[in-house]
Chain A
Amino acid sequence: MAMVIGGWLRLLLLLLLAGLAPAAAIADTATAVAEPVSAARLRGNALLPPDAGEAWEIISLPDNRRPPLVSGEVAAWYRIEFSVTAADLGRESWSVYVPFLRDGGRFFLNGHPIEHIAESDDVLRVKWERPHLVSLPDNLLREGSNTLMVRTQPRLDVSFPRLSFGHATTLQKFQERRSFVVRTLPQITIVFCALVGLFTIFIWVARPAERLYGLFGLTVLLWGLSALTFVIETLPVEHWWSWRLVYHSSTGGFVALMAVFCAGFAELRPPRIVWKTMFVFWLICPVAMIAFGDAADVWMRRVWSAGLIPIGLGAAGMICLAAWRQRTATAYALLAALVLAVLSGIHDYLLHLGRLATIFPDWAGHRIFLLHHGANLLLLVMGSILAQRFVQVLFDLEFLNRDLERRIAEREAQLDAQYQRAHTLERERATVEERRRIMQDMHDGLGSQLFQSLSRAERGDLAPPEMAHSLRSCIDEMRLALEALGTPDDSFLDAIADFRFRWERQLDAAGVRSHWRIEASADTLKFPPRTTLQYLRIIQEALTNALKHARASLIQVHILGEDDAMRIRIEDDGVGINGVANGPGHGLRNMRRRADLLGATLDIDSAPGRTRIEVRVPLAAATA
């Protein structure tokens, strides 16, 4: 996001720049500003203004000279005449606006020194990018013709601009405008490049697989480094060489990385030799700078820089191919930005070489370097492409996520259905098994009893009361089974409630008082129906004993559900087990057998007047 905003801001500034030159022209005509188009030039190292009698040559301004191949140019004196009317004098202080004077120089007004813009010497190297405003002292200014002489020692730049004379306030605007373009914009660029570059590299460090981010981050950082050339205007001599090394290397590195980025965008894989050649070419710069020192600087600018142009053209070619293949707005935008950048690079190179002056002398006279802005636009487009890809990745990710969620949900539903099926089958199997066991029980218990009774009845060995008794116990057995099976959720408490209801009435009818206490939570006491049936049988057996044999008058049933066990206690006030003549041994044995089968313990404590039967059921055993 920061990338995109930064990019847009840069684009905005670039548009501002486009309106700069015409605006300056309009300002020129609107105010009293004199811009002499001719001057006299004298080459010589004299430190004081030479006489008019010397061999001055008349030249036109701006003076677009081609720089010599070897540095060590002699100094040049420029003599510019301008006139001031009486009306202009004294009203406001005057200045001379110098759009550029890269190597600095000394200013003389009517023979008097007025200003010295620092020049390179044994301790300091200068490379002024800023425009200068030199004030013309009132006391030296004359009505009518005045002479300004400028002595400059060209090291980096041999051209001389067209100067403007006028009121300081007017000229200050000129200075501010140019200053914005050649100083402020690069400063902004540097800050943005540093931020965006580091930000992008952070992304790349976190995800090394995203090579394009690393590439872009490095490209941006190199460009920011290269743009420092607009900001570093003076430097101690001992650092100059290393700074130039950094400058050339980063500029070359920027162009090379940009080409790699473009290849990545175009999805082209040029033969390795192409990249190797490019790397070797780039390597020439630091090697030459290290080998030949400061002297290599001018060769780097003139010759080596030219080699960057084919790289840019190659990148443009790749993007051209990509645009033709992809036919996307992105590809076209990148192509346009790249073409602009390459053109502005060529422009700058020609301007530097002094060749541009022969084609556009006026424009060249302004000495505005364009690659800086062209590259900004290019970086903006590159950044936008990355941002777009990033957003696309997010969209894809969202889509994938949704797709994944949907598939997981589907799979979950399938698993759920499968589980349900398995569960249902398991339950059906368990039900069938349970039913089989109960049938077995019925067969062995109820069936056997009925057949015995039938057999005895047929033999005539069964008196009516016995017969009734036998049949009643069969019916009771059936009721018991219904109570055990009649609870839909295996609740032991429901079963015991039905059981109690039936027995309470039965005991009531027999004139036996009963007292029931059930203290348990419904949730803990859940047994399979057959287990419930066995417990009910045990209780039923105990109640039958108390009712039939012990002749009790009060029976207490207590069911207590504890955390890990259930206790069933049946107490009566009958004669006790030993008091029963025709003992209930068979019933007791049955109870014990059932308890054993269920993993429960059965305790019988019997004395005349008090019999207590207690069943203790460990809950884990009961539910297992």
Chain B
Amino acid sequence: MRMGTSVLIVEDIPEFQQRFAAAIHADAELRLLGVAGTGAEAMTWLARQAPDVMLVDLGLPDMSGIDLIRHAARHLPGTESLVVTMFGDDGNVLASIEAGATGYLLKDSLPESIAACIHELRAGGSPISPSIARRVLTRYRGVPPNGNAAPATPAAGVEPLLTERETDILRQVAKGMSFAEIGDILGISQHTVVTHVKKIYRKLAVHSRGEAVFEANQMGLL
């Protein structure tokens, strides 16, 4: 018998706590692990048991949800973070992805799409909007893979962080193409497109972690 996907909700507004909890309860495959109203509570939950999926609202009263995502990405390899956003276009989504989030959820999503989103995430799919793709392209064009190098202009011969294929995919996403269409255009399966997107998310997280280490080094913290 399957245990189902365990979900931790980190959200300070009771209305949304209820909304998300209801959506999870309604789905037989999902299991609500707990609801945390503050970052500290969430940390306690995480220390006790690592959820499969953590739904994080960024605007917590005591800390930034991004720190929470980063903590989970670093210490709980089995946990996937799903950031909750109002409109899905703000810079916080990219910051969350860089911190380790592998997807985002619109705050006004209907209950069934909340569950669908979690399932999609577990199945290896990560949603990506054109505006996020644009942000990633603008920011990581020509950036070398290791964060230690200066990001502005990569040295000749250094492989860029994003492969050509990944860049192609992002370009198509930025145009508003669906994964299926992108698969058709690039001659690959929709599933492969999904995998690529997930890989891009992981790369950005690893890269920004390296960059953080690099910056910390620079500042003499490490």
Instruction: Decide if the interface of chain B is mainly helix, strand, loop or mixed.
Output: loop
Docked pose: A614 CA to B172 CA in angstroms: 26
- State the Cβ distance, A100 to closest chain B Cβ, in Å: 86
Name the residue on A nearest B130 (C-beta). A497
Partner of A496, one of B87, B89, B108, B176: B176
Is there an interface contact between B134 and A482, defined as CB atoms closer than 8 Å? no
- State the Cβ distance, A200 to closest chain B Cβ, in Å: 59
A562 lies within 8 A of chain B by Cβ: no
Q: Tell me how many residues of B have a C-beta within 8 Å of chain A.
A: 13
Is there an interface contact between B178 and A494, defined as CB atoms closer than 8 Å? no
- Taking A475-B108, A498-B89, A498-B131 as contacts, is the C-beta distance between A518 and B175 under 8 angstroms? yes
B186 lies within 8 A of chain A by Cβ: no
Contacts of A497 in B (CB 8 A): 130, 174-176
Contacts of B131 in A (CB 8 A): 486, 494, 498
Partner of B176, one of A472, A479, A486, A516: A516
Contacts of B174 in A (CB 8 A): 494, 497
A509 lies within 8 A of chain B by Cβ: yes
1/0 per residue, CB under 8 A from A, across B92-133: the answer is 000000000000000010100100000000000000011100
Which of A483, A497, A501 has the most B CB atoms < 10 Å from its CB? A501
Contacts of A501 in B (CB 8 A): 129-130, 176
Contacts of B175 in A (CB 8 A): 493, 497, 518
- Taking A482-B87, A518-B176 as contacts, is the C-beta distance between A498 and B129 under 8 angstroms? yes
Docked pose: A108 CA to B218 CA in angstroms: 115
Docked pose: A482 CA to B88 CA in angstroms: 10
Partner of A509, one of B87, B108, B113, B130: B113
- State the Cβ distance, A498 to closest chain B Cβ, in Å: 5
Q: Tell me how many residues of A have a C-beta within 8 Å of chain B.
A: 19
1/0 per residue, CB under 8 A from A, across B145-170: the answer is 00000000000000000000000000
A73 lies within 8 A of chain B by Cβ: no
- Taking A472-B108, A498-B130, A509-B110 as contacts, is the C-beta distance between A486 and B178 under 8 angstroms? no
Name the residue on A nearest B134 (C-beta). A494
Contacts of B134 in A (CB 8 A): 494
- State the Cβ distance, A580 to closest chain B Cβ, in Å: 25
Docked pose: A475 CA to B110 CA in angstroms: 14
Docked pose: A24 CA to B175 CA in angstroms: 103
- State the Cβ distance, B23 to closest chain A Cβ, in Å: 14
Docked pose: A622 CA to B80 CA in angstroms: 46
Contacts of B89 in A (CB 8 A): 482-483, 486, 498
B8-53 contacts to A, CB under 8 A, are none
Is there an interface contact between B108 and A504, defined as CB atoms closer than 8 Å? no
A500 lies within 8 A of chain B by Cβ: yes
A475-516 contacts to B, CB under 8 A, are 475, 478-479, 482-483, 486, 493-494, 496-501, 504, 509, 516
Is there an interface contact between A504 and B178, defined as CB atoms closer than 8 Å? yes
Contacts of A494 in B (CB 8 A): 130-131, 134, 174
Docked pose: A116 CA to B113 CA in angstroms: 135
Docked pose: A527 CA to B131 CA in angstroms: 18
- State the Cβ distance, A514 to closest chain B Cβ, in Å: 9
Name the residue on B nearest A494 (C-beta). B134
Name the residue on B nearest A504 (C-beta). B178
Docked pose: A309 CA to B134 CA in angstroms: 94
Contacts A/B (CB < 8 Å), 11 sampled: A472-B108, A482-B87, A483-B89, A486-B89, A494-B131, A497-B175, A497-B176, A498-B129, A498-B176, A518-B175, A518-B176
B positions within 8 Å CB-CB of A: 87, 89, 108, 110, 113, 129-131, 134, 174-176, 178
A-B contact sample (16 more), CB < 8 A, given A482-B89, A486-B89, A494-B174 = A472-B108, A475-B108, A479-B87, A482-B87, A494-B130, A494-B131, A497-B175, A497-B176, A498-B89, A498-B130, A498-B131, A498-B176, A499-B176, A501-B130, A501-B176, A509-B113
Give 10 nearest A-B pairs by CB, closest first.
A497-B176, A500-B176, A497-B130, A498-B130, A501-B130, A497-B175, A501-B129, A501-B176, A498-B131, A486-B89
